[in-house]
Amino acid sequence: MSLPLIGLTPARIETKFGLPAQGVMQAYMHAVQNAGGIPVIMPLDMPVSDLAPLLSRLGGVIFTGGVDIHPMRYNTPLDAYVANVDEARDQMELDLFAEVTRRGMPFLGICRGIQLVNVALGGTLYTHVQAQHPGAHKHDFYPDWPRSYLAHPVRVEADSTLAR
């Protein structure tokens, strides 16, 4: 049996030479490999319709973390709490999510990715949880901890959809 190919949506990054690039954190790639899959980075600058041959080979898609989703996507005004946006990435991932769900493919959203799923399904977001929802736990970057810090355990039930 061959290993499943798992698509990962990248973030726009800059190389040390100042050149534009696209990439994903190694932790995402290692997680896919450790789960028995082969990670495949999906290009942000291609129409989803052109990705059909790739999608037909994937066993699932991971919508990864990254910059803020533009508030216009969930009918909220832009405010001072929105640090960075990538409107082209927003559009590509929303289109990709629509195609992934149309095909009935498995998907996982991590950080920005689960926010994108929420927005794609008609949900809204707080642009700054602590300011807009007093008493909420901090849900963003902790500068004293590594980005891959496991803040809490997650248990997957054996007979659940996620386990399958």
Q: Mean pLDDT of residues grouped by 10 in the chain (164 residues)? A: 95 96 95 97 95 96 96 92 92 98 97 96 89 75 70 83 78
Q: Which of 73, 69, 72 is closest to 83 using CA atoms?
A: 69
Q: For 102-126, write each residue's pLDDT tens digit.
A: 999 999 999 999 999 999 999 999 8
Domain boundaries, the chain: 5-132
- Tell me the two tokens of residue 32: 């896919």
Q: Homologous superfamily of 5-132 in CATH? A: Class I glutamine amidotransferase (GATase) domain (3.40.50.880)
What is residue 89's predicted lDDT score, i.e. its pLDDT? 98
What is residue 95's predicted lDDT score, i.e. its pLDDT? 98
- CB of 7 within 8 A of CB of 62? yes
Q: For 9-32, write each residue's pLDDT tens digit.
A: 999 999 999 999 999 999 999 999
What is residue 141's predicted lDDT score, i.e. its pLDDT? 63
Task: Determine whether 25 is exposed, middle or buried from the number of CB atoms within 10 Å of its CB (0-12, 13-18, 19+).
Answer: middle
